[in-house]
């Protein structure tokens, strides 16, 4: 999936050959025909906007049944006016993360080319997603590469349960991705990481659903966690195309939020001045940065294991997004990520730590005066809360051994379990003293 210069291939369409609806509202007609699996899918009901597959080749398992939801509790936490903060909860996908939006598209392409074996490296969600597509459709056998001890248990359990051959590499995600790319080249296995441009085509649909949730109005801000930078790259491409097609009249701004312990993009963009530069980013700057990182054996480290990545493979594509969407990049501490995650949970949407980064980022950008209280902000919640129960329980019980990876984490919204004897009056004592009653 590499282009001639080693950078990534991008999908381009000849839009003149596609029958594009005259307005995004036209897509609403498909709500009435949800018994057609292609109209039910939250990805393929927008199929004219990712027109690379004949309809009879499309592989769908009902992904993308997700909606944008207003949340005033989280808005208050982030300092945004009531009614203006929205959560796009991608945890409701079949494998519990946004990855299914991309994997339906990659699986479709894998089917089109007759692949029998597919593979990926993963911090856990890509592997769960690829495994579920392999398991449900029976179209291909799946091999996943994960860093040993580097993925949350919920995600590991999914890959095992869905029947993927699971290779635990003694290393981290960056090592696993390097290995799987070599293995796929050597063994002719179909690679499903986000170096695969078809994955990104599917992930564009998350933005279509955000627009749908706002009655096709463009929000002021999209805030998204950044790991391997596939999502942010896909989102920018979605908006660039919609603008070119005249289906939106303006671009939203977009914020990519790294964890502070895995902040390659934030450092390169904010401190080293890396930019898209009209399609000619300074590759030497990037190479030097990675060389120094290698010399120092710089490893990513964050409790948000999904985004514990130091060599984001879509780095250059994400620069295009930042350019097109007047973007900003920030990195946030594990403490801020976990506090934001706890607030998301408190107000009804459990998410995993990496997803909390989007709300943490919105709060930070609000404090910095970059997001205004009156801005309409859509935060992407990328993965389900049950993916990583260990992180949640560690936070609420103040387990510093588990929490303090990059520095001390003070859980400001901890809700520790209460131990009590198996004794009625002891239990009543606790009940009568509960501050919340």
Of the residues 107, 118, 126, 166, which one makes contact with ligand F0G according to CB under 6 A: 126
Is 236 a binding residue for ligand F0G by CB under 6 A? The answer is no
Residue 125 CB, nearest distance to ligand F0G (Å)? 3
Residue 347 CB, nearest distance to ligand F0G (Å)? 19
Residue 151 CB, nearest distance to ligand F0G (Å)? 8
d(CA 62, CA 56): 16
Residue 172 CB, nearest distance to ligand F0G (Å)? 11
Of the residues 84, 205, 231, 333, which one makes contact with ligand F0G according to CB under 6 A: 231
- CA Rg value for the chain: 21
Residue 295 CB, nearest distance to ligand F0G (Å)? 25
Binding mask 72-111 for ligand F0G (x = CB under 6 A): -------------------------x-x------------
Binding mask 162-201 for ligand F0G (x = CB under 6 A): --------------------------------x-------
Task: Find the binding residues for ligand F0G in span 355-394 (CB under 6 A).
Answer: 355, 382-383
Contact between residue 69 and residue 89 where contact means Cβ atoms under 8 Å apart? yes
Question: Which of these, 218, 214, 278, lies nearest to 242 by C-alpha position?
Answer: 218
Structure tokens at 343: 């607030």
List own/partner pairs for 407-412 with CB under 8 A and 24 or more apart: 407/333, 407/334, 407/335, 408/335, 409/303, 409/333, 409/334, 409/335, 409/338, 410/335, 411/338, 411/339, 411/342, 412/339, 412/342
Residue 226 CB, nearest distance to ligand F0G (Å)? 5
Which residue in this structure is represented by tokens 């001890």?
149
d(CA 206, CA 82): 23
Binding mask 248-287 for ligand F0G (x = CB under 6 A): ----------------------------------------
The conformation of residue 2, written as its DSSP 8-state character, comes to B
Is 154 a binding residue for ligand F0G by CB under 6 A? The answer is no
Question: Which of these, 332, 315, 417, lies nearest to 367 by C-alpha position?
Answer: 332
Task: Find the binding residues for ligand F0G in span 326-345 (CB under 6 A).
Answer: none
Q: Within its chain, how far is the Cα of 44 from the centroid?
A: 19
Contact between residue 151 and residue 164 where contact means Cβ atoms under 8 Å apart? no
| Nearest CB to ligand F0G, comparing residues 189 and 247 | 189
- Alpha-carbon distances, residue 29 vs 17, 38, 39, 48, 72 (angstroms): 22, 13, 9, 14, 30
d(CA 319, CA 296): 25
Residue 45 CB, nearest distance to ligand F0G (Å)? 22
Is 352 a binding residue for ligand F0G by CB under 6 A? The answer is yes
Which range in 48-56, 220-228, 368-376, 405-413 contacts ligand F0G by CB under 6 A? 220-228
Residues near ligand F0G (CB under 6 A)? 97, 99, 122-126, 194, 225-231, 306-307, 352, 354-355, 382-383
């Amino acid at each position: 999936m590499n282009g001639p210069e080693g950078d990534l291939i991008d999908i381009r369409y000849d839009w003149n050959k596609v029958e594009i609806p005259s307005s995004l509202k036209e897509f609403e007609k498909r709500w009435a025909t949800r018994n057609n699996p292609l109209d039910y899918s939250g990805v393929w009901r927008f199929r004219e906007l990712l027109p690379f597959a004949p309809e009879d080749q499309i592989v769908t398992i009902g992904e993308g049944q997700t909606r944008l939801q207003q949340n005033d509790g989280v808005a208050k936490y982030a300092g945004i006016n009531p009614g203006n903060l929205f959560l796009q909860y991608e945890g409701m996908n079949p494998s519990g993360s946004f990855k299914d939006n991309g994997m339906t598209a990659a699986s479709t392409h894998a089917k089109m080319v007759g692949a029998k074996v597919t593979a990926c490296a993963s911090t856990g969600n890509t592997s769960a997603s690829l495994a579920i597509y392999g398991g449900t459709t029976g179209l291909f056998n799946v091999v996943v590469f994960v860093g040993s001890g580097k993925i949350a248990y919920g995600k590991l359990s999914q890959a095992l349960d869905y029947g993927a051959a699971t290779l635990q590499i003694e290393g981290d995600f960056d090592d696993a991705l390097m290995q799987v790319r070599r293995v796929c080249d050597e063994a002719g296995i179909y690679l499903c990481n986000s170096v695969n441009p078809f994955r990104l085509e599917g992930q564009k649909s998350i933005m279509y659903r955000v627009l749908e949730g706002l009655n096709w109005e463009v929000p002021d801000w999209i805030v998204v966690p950044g790991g391997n930078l596939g999502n942010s790259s896909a989102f920018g491409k979605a908006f660039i195309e919609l603008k070119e097609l005249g289906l939106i009249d303006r671009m939203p701004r977009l914020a990519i939020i790294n964890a502070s312990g895995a902040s390659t993009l934030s450092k390169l963009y904010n401190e080293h001045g890396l930019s898209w530069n009209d399609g000619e980013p300074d590759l030497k700057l990037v190479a030097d940065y990675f060389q120094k990182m290698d010399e120092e054996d710089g490893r990513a480290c964050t409790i948000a294991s999904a985004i514990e990545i130091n060599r984001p493979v879509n780095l250059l594509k994400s620069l295009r997004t930042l350019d097109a969407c007047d973007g900003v990049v920030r990195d946030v501490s594990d403490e801020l990520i976990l506090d934001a995650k706890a607030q998301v949970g408190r107000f009804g949407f459990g998410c995993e730590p990496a997803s909390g980064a989007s709300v943490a980022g919105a709060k930070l950008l609000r404090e910095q005066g970059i997001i205004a209280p009156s801005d309409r902000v859509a935060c992407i919640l990328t993965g389900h809360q049950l993916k990583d129960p260990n992180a949640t329980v560690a936070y609420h019980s103040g387990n510093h051994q588990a929490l303090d990876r990059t520095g001390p984490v003070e859980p400001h919204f901890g809700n520790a379990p209460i131990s009590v004897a198996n004794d009625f009056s002891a239990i009543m004592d606790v009940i009568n003293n509960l501050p919340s009653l």
